[in-house]
Structure 1
Amino acid sequence: MAVQPEGAPCWADAMFGDVEAAKSFYGDVLGWTFGESSSEYGNYTQAYADGKAVAAVVPPMPGQEEGPAQWCLYLASRDAAATAARIREAGGEVVMEPMQVGDYGTMCLARDPSGVVFGVWQGGTHEGFEAMAEPGAYCWAEVFTREPGKSDAFFPQVFSYKSKQMEDDGVDFRLFDLGDRTVLGRMAMGDDFPPEVPPYINVYFTVPDCDAAVARATERGGVLRFGPMDTPFGRFAALSDPQGAAFSVIDITTTEGEMPKITDVA
């Protein structure tokens, strides 16, 4: 795939206390196969869909064994150090300073002012997703936050997004565009989210059959959080895997309903 423009989602990984269990679960639910773990880089293990790199799993680093499992979305950067500086200027926090990962690229981890953790990736030999919107591959992501105003101000300041708002009295949903391409959503967390659930980025993976994927996930110990539901964008469901990491599955070939009205935000 072509290198993603600055601010576009380009990679996803997750840290699991039991990596082998995670590989078994996602292999069954999403059809992933896995490469050899890289002991030089903390046993980082890439996942493949139809032979194309689509994500990675990794065990916790020493001292982080008690942390919850969670998917991390990486946004593309031409210069990770410059992006880290903009993150600070916009009121965010750099959780992990830019770090070169061999010749693969440079990464950093950050937190927006509302508490949403995300990654930044300056690609080297590893440019990111080798497939998107194909079965087993990344498709979409949304920032879930209890303080939408903070996220709405932060992300466009860091990545030059243009903002659009969905016209829907029942939900506070915003879209971030790069040029003529919508790259990220933002959902306000309401009272239906338990207070102990922190803000996060929800990553969607493409599946050929949403209901079948949900059935496999729940049979393997996953928890269905929402759906399956038909939308103009596809039939999707929100899940948690057996180790607690939230993710969604979507069948983009099964669509229903009219596209919502969306207005530009000045």
Structure 2
Amino acid sequence: MAAFAHSAPCWVDVQLPDLEAGKRFYGELFGWTFRAGEAVERGGHGVDALSGGKLVAALAAKQDGRMPTAWGIYFAADDIVATVARIRQAGGQVITEPVRVGSAGVLAQAADPGGAVFGLWQAGDRSGFQKQNEPGSFCWTEVYTRQKDRVDAFYEQVFGFRGTDLGAAGMGESGTGESGRGESGTREPGTGGSGTGESETAGSGTGEPGTGESETPESETPEPGPIGSGIGGSGADVPGVDFRMWSPAGTEPGPDTAIGGRSVITDAFPAEMPSYFLNYFAVADCDATAGTGVHLGGRVSVPPFDIPYGRMAVLHDNQGAEFAVLQPPVSR
């Protein structure tokens, strides 16, 4: 088993009020099949989602109705105890202390200084995605925040991310982090980089990774960062765009090594909108996927549009969980 490099996005899962309805929605939308997830110490139940027989995500039944209906992102940690300590030192909040999930691995949950929630996963028998950056699987993540300076410093200190500022700041301005190591194997949206995980996934969706995301009000969804803003190509100098791409420590910062990013929630949106992560799934046909999502009872909050990295849209599933889809550009 090859674990993901430290700081790489390695897993996503979603908390849903109705697990069976979620299986029907995502099964038809992405062609996923499902198998029972492992029982975990905190109780609950859920299923692993597979695309082409490879693990890509998990769906979990919410055990507490007060919890948000949302997709959660997990970053790989080679030493989860040390990473949790850095989170506290950098001004973040630890929501769930490291807890062993049988032989699968160890998880923790935290929030950055702006309040966006994310998970950590230290692999045991389960590593992370078996498939990503291909249709029906995860391809990108980005955090939305109002406290960009604190949040940028936080992720650099905790994960060792190196930042490339795009848009209003122009390309080529990089931040440097001290911690973290190695390449994640993922790429900026729609570029088709391959992941490094070869074994079973980090989360079963049963109280494992992904149980505390902040939910974004459904009627107020900012347009997504690097791709929504058309950054990284001809849109790199769009006025007012403020986006930072993250590259792992030990890599040259830039689009070729980026594994995610940070965007800013502007004053155009209500003050009560929380910070949050938006996760992207690759699809073969963005327009068809958006149409299918609506047919299945979901809704489109950002209709399909072209970007330098392909064609994208932002959707909510039939229970309100938000996610984005990205159709990579056709090779010529």
Contact kept? 1:90, 1:157, Cα under 8 Å: yes
Deviations 1:86-120 (A, max 9, x none): 00000000000001101111000000000000000
Structure-to-structure mapping, 1:186-205, within 5 angstroms: 186-205=262-281
Partner of 1:35 in structure 2?
A: 35
User: Quick one: distance in 2 between partners of 1:29 and 1:193?
Assistant: 29
Partner of 2:106 in structure 1?
A: 106
User: Quick one: distance in 2 between partners of 1:33 and 1:55?
Assistant: 11
- Give the structure-2-normalised TM-score: 0.73
2:321 equivalent to 1:245: yes
2:286 equivalent to 1:210: yes
User: Quick one: distance in 1 between partners of 2:330 and 2:274?
Assistant: 31
User: Quick one: distance in 1 between partners of 2:126 and 2:272?
Assistant: 35
Q: CA deviation at 1:212?
A: 0.4
Structure-to-structure mapping, 1:63-78, within 5 angstroms: 64-78=64-78
Deviations 1:8-51 (A, max 9, x none): 10000111111111111111111111112434552131100110
Q: CA deviation at 1:192?
A: 4.5
Partner of 1:50 in structure 2?
A: 52
Cα distance change, pair 211–246 in 1 and its aligned pair in 2 (3 A): same
User: Quick one: distance in 2 between partners of 1:90 and 1:136?
Assistant: 35
User: Quick one: distance in 1 between partners of 2:160 and 2:240?
Assistant: 28
Quick check: which one's helix share is greater?
1
Q: CA deviation at 1:195?
A: 3.9
User: Quick one: distance in 2 between partners of 1:174 and 1:99?
Assistant: 31
Higher relative CO (CA 8 A, sep ≥ 6), structure 1 or 2? 2
User: Quick one: distance in 1 between partners of 2:285 and 2:330?
Assistant: 9
Structure-to-structure mapping, 1:17-166, within 5 angstroms: 17-40=17-40, 42-61=44-63, 64-166=64-166
Q: CA deviation at 1:84?
A: 0.4
- Give the structure-1-normalised TM-score: 0.91
Quick check: which one's strand share is greater?
1
Deviations 1:112-162 (A, max 9, x none): 000000000001111000011111110001111122222111101100111
User: Quick one: distance in 1 between partners of 2:62 and 2:329?
Assistant: 36
User: Quick one: distance in 2 between partners of 1:44 and 1:38?
Assistant: 8
Aligned residues: 254
Q: CA deviation at 1:217?
A: 0.5
Contiguous gaps of at least 5 residues in structure 2: 171-236
Give the superposed CA RMSD: 1.7
Q: CA deviation at 1:2?
A: 4.3
Cα distance change, pair 125–216 in 1 and its aligned pair in 2 (3 A): same
User: Quick one: distance in 2 between partners of 1:30 and 1:2?
Assistant: 26
Q: Which amino acid aligns with 2:25?
A: F
Q: Which amino acid aligns with 2:75?
A: L
Partner of 1:172 in structure 2?
A: 242
